[in-house]
């Protein structure tokens, strides 16, 4: 039987300043860039899935691996003391790193190198970190006993390793496995000082040096992503639709979507997005269409002056569509606002989309309501509709007070304080939102 794997996005869906994921590369350790981190996590996730579903899972019980004892460094690691000046009989390698103790601030130094080297070994194939050995000459130098307290050094190292964030794709959920030895360094049979040896086992999933440097905007606030959330967003997969694939087909996959967008499926045989757009939102050249027509009729007969008010707003636009609702906010699962007659979304040629809120009377909170609705609309275009272009929905409040009849009391258009890099240059493209795209585009003459 063919087993379909969930499809990963083809490239990282997140930008990060720093992945905080280290790996071994030859005799050094490397900080993975976004793409490397993405491939690394993707592989770990797939490995965990294969192991859990595959025929071996009962035998293996997780992905626990061990460093082979045949490593040339192992006999030295087994020793209880080292000789000062002794030359170790093996060089640095993918699984061996030599570090000298710094002469001052030994604990600070150890706290700095552990989060780089220990995860690097754990994320690769495991290995040995020797602190107190010169990397060129392979000579044991240790750290003079007057400069270090072996007990506090041990507890500092253990604490630092336990602080490293671990993220699992597998069922194991264990901590990083390591063996720490602080051994005596002897000179002519006398205690000279201490050396530190850490054996790190390969880790089933991912060990970080700290949380990745990546942020997200949540409810207007910039928040730092937690390690777990970051990994989740980096490795998000299209759901496995094995069972449903006979009835459903994918219209939008995650591979092209921004970080928060979800895949879109439709029932086979039903009309596709393109056909629906054509059917629901087509506009003949030179026309401005109001839809749904019945709602437009009802609204204009219920509210005297509404037709004039809206028509006046539409004067600058030659072709487009006005999508009306008694409340766009309610359509978007936001709170209804009393006093709102209707919301109208204009998608027109040579303009960014504009959301008009028509209020019965002037209201200080009207602009806030309209801006929030426009913002949510934009969010939905991206996260639900999978729209990947740059788009701005402007918010505009109109007021239909009975005294002033058709006179519009127009609130200030919300400021477009976008960063400079976010240029809405190709307005026409921006207007081609998921639901307007083909209809307006195809019916219009080429620019
Ligand atoms: Zn794991």
**Residue range 386-424, pLDDT digits in tens:** 777 777 889 999 998 755 444 444 444 444 555 555 555
Residue-level pLDDT at 146: 92
Dig out the tokens for 102 from the structure: 């710094």
CA of 6 to the centre of ligand 1 (A): 19
CA of 65 to the centre of ligand 1 (A): 11
Continuous segment of H or E residues that includes residue 196: strand 190-200
Burial class (CB in 10 A: 0-12, 13-18, 19+), 3: exposed
Q: Which of 45, 49, 58, 99 is catalytic?
A: 99
Q: Say yes or no to pLDDT of 265 above 70.
A: yes
Lowest mean pLDDT among 157-161, 342-346, 418-422: 418-422
Q: Say yes or no to pLDDT of 262 above 80.
A: no
Residue-level pLDDT at 49: 84
CA of 164 to the centre of ligand 1 (A): 14
Question: Is there a cis peptide before residue 47, judged by omega within 30 degrees of 0?
Answer: no
Give the whole-number percent of the chain exceeding pLDDT 90. Answer: 51
Dig out the tokens for 375 from the structure: 């913002």
* Contacts with 195 (C-beta within 8 Å, 6 or more apart), sequence order: 82, 130, 131, 132, 133, 140, 142, 143, 182, 183, 185
Continuous segment of H or E residues that includes residue 154: helix 150-162
Residue-level pLDDT at 3: 43
Highest mean pLDDT among 61-75, 77-91, 374-388: 77-91
CA of 90 to the centre of ligand 1 (A): 31
CA of 215 to the centre of ligand 1 (A): 25
Query: Phi/psi of residue 441, each to 5°?
Result: -60, -45
Count of helices and strands (H, E) across the chain: 13, 19
Give the whole-number percent of the chain exceeding pLDDT 70. Answer: 81
CA atoms within a 13 Å half-sphere pointing along the CA-CB vector of 235 = 24
Continuous segment of H or E residues that includes residue 187: strand 178-187
Reduced to 3 states (helix: H, G, I; strand: E, B; else coil), residue 261 is coil
Lowest mean pLDDT among 159-163, 229-233, 272-276: 272-276
Question: Rounded to 5, what percent of the chain is helix, strand, coil?
Answer: 30, 25, 45
CA of 173 to the centre of ligand 1 (A): 5
Q: What average pLDDT is seen over the chain?
A: 82
CA of 399 to the centre of ligand 1 (A): 59
Residue-level pLDDT at 443: 31
The total of other beta-carbon atoms located within 10 Å of residue 437's CB is 20
Q: How confident is the model at residue 261 (pLDDT cuts 50, 70, 90)?
A: confident
CA of 51 to the centre of ligand 1 (A): 11
Q: How far apart are CA 369 and CA 357, in angstroms?
A: 8
Q: Averaged over 257-261, what is the pLDDT?
A: 71
CA of 204 to the centre of ligand 1 (A): 4
Lowest mean pLDDT among 9-18, 66-75, 335-344, 404-413: 404-413
List Cα–Cα distances, 322 to 220, 385, 398, 416, in angstroms.
Answer: 29, 19, 15, 22
CA atoms within a 13 Å half-sphere pointing along the CA-CB vector of 155 = 3
Which of 320 and 3 is assigned the larger pLDDT?
Answer: 320
Q: Averaged over 82-97, what is the pLDDT?
A: 96
Lowest mean pLDDT among 90-104, 163-177, 236-250: 236-250
State yes or no: is 99 an active-site residue.
Answer: yes
Lowest mean pLDDT among 180-189, 288-297, 394-403, 436-445: 436-445
CA of 46 to the centre of ligand 1 (A): 12
CA of 10 to the centre of ligand 1 (A): 23
CA of 55 to the centre of ligand 1 (A): 18
Q: How far apart are CA 395 and CA 356, in angstroms?
A: 6
Reduced to 3 states (helix: H, G, I; strand: E, B; else coil), residue 161 is helix
Q: Averaged over 284-299, what is the pLDDT?
A: 91
CA atoms within a 13 Å half-sphere pointing along the CA-CB vector of 377 = 29
Residue-level pLDDT at 2: 42
Lowest mean pLDDT among 94-98, 115-119, 252-256: 252-256
């Amino acid at each position: 039987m063919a087993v379909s794997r969930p499809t990963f996005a083809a490239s990282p869906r997140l930008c990060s300043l720093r992945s905080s994921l280290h790996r071994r590369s030859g005799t050094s350790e490397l900080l993975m860039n976004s793409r490397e981190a993405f491939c690394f996590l993707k592989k770990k996730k797939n490995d965990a899935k294969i192991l859990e579903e595959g025929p071996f899972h009962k035998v293996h019980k997780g992905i626990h691996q061990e460093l082979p004892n045949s490593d040339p460094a192992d006999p030295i690691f087994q020793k209880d003391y080292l000789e000062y000046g002794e030359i170790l009989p093996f060089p640095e390698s993918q699984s061996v790193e030599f570090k000298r103790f710094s002469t001052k601030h030994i604990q600070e130094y150890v706290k700095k190198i552990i989060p780089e080297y220990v995860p690097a070994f754990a994320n690769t194939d495991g290995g040995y970190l020797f602190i107190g050995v010169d990397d060129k000459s392979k000579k044991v130098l240790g750290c003079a006993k007057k400069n270090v307290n072996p007990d506090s050094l041990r507890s500092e190292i253990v604490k630092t390793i336990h602080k490293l964030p671990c993220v699992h794709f597998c069922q194991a959920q264990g901590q990083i496995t390591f063996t720490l030895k602080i051994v005596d360094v002897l000179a002519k049979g006398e205690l000279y000082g201490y050396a530190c040896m850490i054996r790190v086992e390969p880790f089933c999933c991912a060990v970080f040096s700290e949380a990745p440097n990546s942020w997200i905007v949540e409810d207007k606030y910039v928040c730092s992503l937690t390690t777990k959330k970051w990994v989740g967003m980096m490795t998000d997969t299209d759901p496995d639709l094995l069972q449903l694939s006979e009835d459903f087909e994918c219209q939008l996959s995650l591979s092209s979507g921004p970080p928060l967008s979800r895949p879109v499926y439709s029932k086979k045989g039903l009309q596709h997005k393109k056909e629906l757009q054509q059917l629901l939102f087509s506009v003949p050249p030179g026309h401005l269409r109001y839809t749904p027509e019945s709602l437009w009729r009802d609204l204009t007969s219920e509210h005297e002056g509404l037709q004039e008010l809206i028509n006046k707003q539409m004067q600058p636009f030659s072709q487009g569509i006005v999508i009306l609702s008694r409340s766009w906010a309610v359509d978007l699962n936001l709170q209804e606002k009393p006093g709102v007659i209707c919301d109208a979304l204009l998608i027109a040629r040579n303009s960014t989309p504009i959301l008009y809120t028509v209020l019965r009377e002037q209201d200080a909170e009207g602009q806030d309501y309209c801006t929030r609705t426009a913002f949510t609309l934009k969010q939905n275009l991206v996260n639900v509709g999978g729209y990947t272009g740059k788009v701005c929905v402007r918010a505009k409040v109109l007021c239909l007070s009975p005294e002033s009849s058709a006179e519009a009391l127009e609130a200030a258009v919300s400021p477009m304080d976008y960063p400079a890099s976010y240029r809405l240059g190709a307005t026409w493209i921006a207007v081609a939102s998921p639901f307007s795209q083909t209809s307006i585009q195809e019916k219009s003459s080429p620019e």
